[in-house]
Structure 1
Amino acid sequence: MHWLPDMEAARSHFVAGMPALSYTGLSENWLWKTCGDRHWQQLAGIAGQAVPDFRDADGHRVYAAFTAIRIREASLEAIGENDAFTIDSFLKPAGGAKYLSEHVLVSQGALRARVTMLSTFVRRTRERDNRSVIRAMPMAVGADATVPQAADGLQLSALARRFRGGDWGAHLGLEQLRHATAHAIEFLPCPYTDFNGADLLYFASFQAMVDRAEWHWRMDPEPPVMCERDLFFHGNVNVGESLELNFAAARVDKTDLGHWCEIRRARDGDKIADVVTRKRWRQR
């Protein structure tokens, strides 16, 4: 099977230890954080930087913020304690300040997950105010007109716009339901675990809070395992601001569990993310 794009990869080798494992196999949250760091480091590499330090023309610090993340063909439950695996990472331009990376996880000769990440550069206009985040263009990274733009990036951007506007119809086997909520909870992000060193609500925290909300809601005797997930980021929050997680569509059958979760700021109701998830019941 041909898993890898036709371009040079950066390969990382791992052995699954406790920090990388969860009750359902390799931790999806660990995988997101690891792939996000690979994306960040590869951006620095193409800019000729030893460590990431991006600034705009006025000297403001700018960061790569993810606008969409996708995981497909996941079988993370197949990776257990002390299993060796590799992650091949590819980065390519996706138009303007956007870059798309793909991360291919392989263990024992089998594909275990494919993670796609789309980012753009942002900065704040007011210090530590995550509501003041705007798009930015770093001086060190510019689009190379000779390198074709990633078609997947254009597709993800278009889909993110549809979700932001609430006009997507059906996705990952779910039908959009208007004015219906299967489950809702309030969540207060913690500065010690949910925010990153740039003082932003960390992208991997969105996945974690949705899984916590799902567990709070269902507490299935045998937790299902990840198949595929799409996450679209629309905004951020400040420390001390609460969020509302609304599961506005859900499907449960004999083979899998699917749901769509809207994440909104509790204070003003602004949507900051959409998360569409499909999991399958584990066969023992």
Structure 2
Amino acid sequence: MRARRESAAGARSSPRAPQPTRTHYVAGMPELAFAGLSEQWLLRTCGQLHWSALAAQSDCALPDFYDDEGRKSYAAFMAIRVREARLEDVSENQRFAIETDVRRIAGARHFGQFRVFTTESAIARVEMVSTFVRREQAGDNRSVCRAMFAGTPVSATPDAASELVAQAKRFRSGEWTRHGPLDRAVHAARHVVDYLPCPSLDFNGAHLLYFASFQSMVERAEWHWRSAQHSAPPALVEREMAFFGNANVGDKLTLTFGARRADHDGLSHWCTVARVADGACIAEIVTHKRWTHE
């Protein structure tokens, strides 16, 4: 993968070795949601940190990538997991930091690990596996395919990355039956929500359906489904998302909840996101939450 450099003087003979970095923030309204740090802000921010790290490791000023044949390409996430989350521990004007560690792994992929800290404790881990993609047909997000590139040297694949890739494969093949306390057979459910993504809210600057919008879709669908059943929204513990495709502006989607578990400990559910026109599954999302008190 080549990234466009601002000047030839910036070229180096070898890629920069990945080094963990830490970025500091103060929680204001953009970073916060109803009950703590916004998960969508966190995903968007980690996504940008991941992309920027790829550029830095290629010794490029900007994340402007082109494949081996000179075609515009983008970093696309194959799988994401938010775990050990206590986003409710972040409040207004609180200082926190995100530690970033991104490196290339086998299979022309990159693995990003992000640890979120307040001054008191760790409040979340975010893990992301990405690959580079391009459109086979200009303007058609259904034609997104893997981009070929030489890339930076491959690092040893961490266990967490292997687990995330393996789980995404199980999601795609339908070979998984349990995820934490959620059992697809025991907790089988059927709830379908129609969703039409909005260009100004759900798509990114590359005109692709943005990965963080999937989290938002599921949150809205969950709230409409269960808002009358419990007065306070539950807090996120873990969310795992596997992505298999994209959608064009105007493509209608269905969110099908196929398993749901709710008890005194919390709420869990499994959701499949598919395009209506051709029935193609473009994402599988499993969520675990704990109940909170007002």
Contact 1:125 1:132 in 2 (8 A): yes
User: CA separation in 2, counterparts of 1:176 and 1:252?
Assistant: 13
Give yes or no for the alignment of 1:54 onto 2:72.
Answer: no
- Once the two structures are TM-superposed, the CA of residue 180 in structure 1 deviates from its matched residue by 5.3
- Judge conservation of contact 2:84–2:124 (CA < 8 Å) in 1: yes
Q: TM-score, normalised by structure 2?
A: 0.90
Counterpart code for 1:214? E
Aligned residue type for 1:41: S
Q: 1:230 aligned to 2:227?
A: no
* Cα shift at 1:210: 0.2
Please report how far the alpha carbon of residue 209 of structure 1 lies from its aligned counterpart in structure 2 after TM superposition: 0.3
Indicate conservation of the 8 Å contact 2:53/2:102, yes or no: yes
Mapped partners of 1:129, 1:268: distance in 2 = 14
- Give the drift of 1:178: 9.8
Is the Cα contact below 8 Å between 1:177 and 1:248 reproduced in 2?
A: no
Aligned partners of 1:96 and 1:143 also within 8 Å: no
Task: Return the match for 1:64 from 48, 72, 75.
Answer: 75
Does the CA-based 8 Å contact 1:97-1:142 persist in structure 2? no
2:205 maps to what in 1? 197
Work out the CA distance in 2 between the residues paired with 1:271 and 1:15. Answer: 38
Instruction: Give, in angstroms, the shift of residue 162 of structure 1.
Output: 0.9
Q: Distance in 2 between matches of 1:138 and 1:195?
A: 26
Q: Does residue 154 of structure 2 align to residue 164 of structure 1?
A: no
Structure 1 residues 178, 189: closer, same or farther in 2, change over 3 A?
A: farther
1:47 offset after TM fit, Å?
0.5
1:21 aligns with 2:29: no
1:112 aligns with 2:123: yes
2:261 is the alignment partner of 1:251? yes
Equivalent residue number for residue 290 of structure 2: 280
In the alignment, structure 1 residue 40 sits paired with structure 2 residue 42:
no
Q: Does 1:12 align with 2:5?
A: no
The alignment covers a number of residue pairs equal to 275
Unaligned 5+ segments in structure 2 are: 1-17
Whether 1:130 aligns to 2:141 is: yes
TM-score (norm 1): 0.93
Please provide the CA RMSD for this pair.
1.6
Q: Which runs of 5+ in 1 are unaligned?
A: 1-6
CA deviations over 1:109-142 (Å, ceiling 9, x no partner): 2010000000001100101101111111235x23
1:34-75 C-alpha deviation (Å, 9 max, x unpaired): 000000000001011000111112110111100000011100
2:163 to 155, 167, 188: 155
1:102 and 2:110 correspond: no
**Given that residues 92 and 150 in structure 1 are in contact (C-alpha distance below 8 angstroms), is that contact kept between their aligned partners in structure 2?**
no
Residue 127 and residue 178 in structure 1: after superposition, are their counterparts in 2 closer, same or farther (change >3 A)? farther
- The answer for the alignment partner of 2:190 in structure 1 is 182
Deviations 1:157-204 (CA, angstroms, capped at 9, x unpaired): 111111011110101211124995431110000000100111110000
8 Å CA contact 2:272–2:283 kept in 1: the answer is: yes
Query: Secondary structure of the residue that 1:126 maps to in structure 2?
Result: coil
Selected match of 1:264 from 270, 274, 281: 274
Matched to 2:113, the amino acid is: E
Segments ≥4 residues shifted beyond 6 Å: none
